[in-house]
Amino acid sequence: MTSRSETATVFVVGVSALVATCILHLAYLPRYFPDERLTVSAVLVLGWATYTVGWYAIGRLFSDPGPVPSLRSLDVGVALFLCSLLLGLGLDTLGFTPELVLEAYALPAVGIYVGLALVGWSIGVRTNAINRFAHDE
Protein backbone atom coordinates (compact mmCIF):
# COMPACT_ATOMS: atom_id res chain seq x y z
CA MET A 1 0.00 0.00 0.00
CA THR A 2 1.00 3.62 -0.26
CA SER A 3 2.67 5.37 2.62
CA ARG A 4 1.30 8.49 4.26
CA SER A 5 4.13 10.68 2.96
CA GLU A 6 3.54 9.44 -0.59
CA THR A 7 -0.19 10.14 -0.30
CA ALA A 8 0.53 13.61 1.09
CA THR A 9 2.93 14.32 -1.77
CA VAL A 10 0.39 13.24 -4.38
CA PHE A 11 -2.25 15.38 -2.65
CA VAL A 12 0.03 18.43 -2.74
CA VAL A 13 0.78 17.78 -6.42
CA GLY A 14 -2.95 17.52 -7.16
CA VAL A 15 -3.83 20.73 -5.33
CA SER A 16 -0.91 22.56 -6.96
CA ALA A 17 -2.05 21.37 -10.37
CA LEU A 18 -5.59 22.54 -9.66
CA VAL A 19 -4.38 25.99 -8.58
CA ALA A 20 -2.06 26.30 -11.58
CA THR A 21 -4.83 25.21 -13.96
CA CYS A 22 -7.24 27.78 -12.52
CA ILE A 23 -4.66 30.57 -12.69
CA LEU A 24 -3.72 29.76 -16.28
CA HIS A 25 -7.30 29.39 -17.52
CA LEU A 26 -8.94 32.18 -15.54
CA ALA A 27 -6.19 34.82 -15.41
CA TYR A 28 -3.91 34.42 -18.41
CA LEU A 29 -6.15 33.08 -21.18
CA PRO A 30 -8.69 35.94 -21.03
CA ARG A 31 -5.85 38.44 -20.97
CA TYR A 32 -4.18 37.21 -24.17
CA PHE A 33 -6.93 35.33 -26.08
CA PRO A 34 -7.96 37.35 -29.08
CA ASP A 35 -4.69 39.15 -29.78
CA GLU A 36 -1.64 36.98 -29.12
CA ARG A 37 -2.09 33.51 -30.61
CA LEU A 38 1.40 32.26 -29.73
CA THR A 39 1.05 33.23 -26.08
CA VAL A 40 -2.43 31.70 -25.95
CA SER A 41 -1.07 28.46 -27.42
CA ALA A 42 1.66 28.27 -24.81
CA VAL A 43 -0.76 29.02 -21.97
CA LEU A 44 -3.22 26.41 -23.29
CA VAL A 45 -0.55 23.71 -23.48
CA LEU A 46 0.62 24.52 -19.94
CA GLY A 47 -2.99 24.54 -18.74
CA TRP A 48 -3.62 21.18 -20.40
CA ALA A 49 -0.50 19.73 -18.76
CA THR A 50 -1.48 20.92 -15.28
CA TYR A 51 -5.06 19.69 -15.82
CA THR A 52 -3.76 16.25 -16.77
CA VAL A 53 -1.44 16.17 -13.74
CA GLY A 54 -4.43 17.01 -11.55
CA TRP A 55 -6.36 14.03 -12.89
CA TYR A 56 -3.25 11.89 -12.46
CA ALA A 57 -3.23 12.82 -8.77
CA ILE A 58 -6.94 12.03 -8.48
CA GLY A 59 -6.33 8.65 -10.11
CA ARG A 60 -3.50 7.94 -7.68
CA LEU A 61 -5.51 8.94 -4.62
CA PHE A 62 -8.96 7.53 -5.34
CA SER A 63 -8.48 4.40 -7.43
CA ASP A 64 -8.32 0.80 -6.35
CA PRO A 65 -6.93 -0.99 -9.40
CA GLY A 66 -6.59 -4.71 -9.91
CA PRO A 67 -3.21 -6.35 -10.47
CA VAL A 68 -3.17 -5.36 -14.15
CA PRO A 69 -5.56 -2.47 -14.84
CA SER A 70 -6.88 -1.94 -18.33
CA LEU A 71 -5.39 0.90 -20.32
CA ARG A 72 -8.51 1.25 -22.44
CA SER A 73 -9.35 4.58 -20.83
CA LEU A 74 -5.90 5.85 -21.81
CA ASP A 75 -6.51 4.83 -25.41
CA VAL A 76 -9.96 6.44 -25.43
CA GLY A 77 -8.57 9.60 -23.83
CA VAL A 78 -5.76 9.98 -26.36
CA ALA A 79 -8.16 9.31 -29.25
CA LEU A 80 -10.72 11.79 -27.91
CA PHE A 81 -8.05 14.44 -27.36
CA LEU A 82 -6.59 14.04 -30.85
CA CYS A 83 -9.95 13.88 -32.64
CA SER A 84 -11.20 16.95 -30.78
CA LEU A 85 -7.99 18.82 -31.52
CA LEU A 86 -8.28 17.92 -35.21
CA LEU A 87 -11.93 19.00 -35.24
CA GLY A 88 -10.97 22.38 -33.79
CA LEU A 89 -8.15 22.78 -36.29
CA GLY A 90 -10.53 21.77 -39.09
CA LEU A 91 -13.00 24.44 -38.04
CA ASP A 92 -10.21 27.00 -38.11
CA THR A 93 -9.09 25.81 -41.54
CA LEU A 94 -12.62 26.12 -42.93
CA GLY A 95 -12.71 29.77 -41.83
CA PHE A 96 -14.67 29.38 -38.61
CA THR A 97 -12.08 31.05 -36.40
CA PRO A 98 -12.65 31.35 -32.64
CA GLU A 99 -12.96 35.11 -33.02
CA LEU A 100 -15.94 34.69 -35.36
CA VAL A 101 -17.77 31.63 -34.02
CA LEU A 102 -16.60 30.82 -30.51
CA GLU A 103 -19.62 28.57 -29.85
CA ALA A 104 -18.49 26.14 -32.57
CA TYR A 105 -15.45 25.28 -30.45
CA ALA A 106 -17.47 24.13 -27.42
CA LEU A 107 -17.66 20.48 -28.51
CA PRO A 108 -13.95 20.19 -29.36
CA ALA A 109 -13.07 21.91 -26.07
CA VAL A 110 -15.17 19.47 -24.04
CA GLY A 111 -13.61 16.57 -25.96
CA ILE A 112 -10.10 17.84 -25.29
CA TYR A 113 -10.67 18.21 -21.55
CA VAL A 114 -12.49 14.88 -21.18
CA GLY A 115 -9.71 13.18 -23.15
CA LEU A 116 -7.02 14.74 -20.96
CA ALA A 117 -8.92 13.74 -17.82
CA LEU A 118 -9.07 10.14 -19.04
CA VAL A 119 -5.34 10.17 -19.83
CA GLY A 120 -4.39 11.56 -16.42
CA TRP A 121 -6.74 9.22 -14.56
CA SER A 122 -5.51 6.17 -16.45
CA ILE A 123 -1.85 6.95 -15.83
CA GLY A 124 -2.60 7.52 -12.14
CA VAL A 125 -4.42 4.19 -11.86
CA ARG A 126 -1.60 2.39 -13.65
CA THR A 127 1.00 4.02 -11.38
CA ASN A 128 -1.06 2.95 -8.37
CA ALA A 129 -1.07 -0.66 -9.62
CA ILE A 130 2.67 -0.62 -10.30
CA ASN A 131 3.43 0.78 -6.84
CA ARG A 132 1.18 -1.82 -5.22
CA PHE A 133 2.94 -4.60 -7.16
CA ALA A 134 6.39 -3.21 -6.21
CA HIS A 135 5.47 -3.01 -2.51
CA ASP A 136 4.10 -6.58 -2.48
CA GLU A 137 7.39 -8.04 -3.72
d(CA 88, CA 134): 41
Residue 81 has pLDDT above 70, yes or no: yes
Helix (H) or strand (E) holding 94: none
Structural domain boundaries, residue 66: 4-136
How far out from the chain centre does Cα 10 lie? 16
Mean pLDDT of the chain: 91
Residue 87 has pLDDT above 80, yes or no: yes
Residue 34 has pLDDT above 80, yes or no: no
Mean pLDDT of 44-64: 94
- Residue 37 pLDDT level (bands cut at 50, 70, 90): confident
Mean pLDDT of 104-108: 93
Q: Count how many domains the chain has.
A: 1
Reported pTM: 0.89
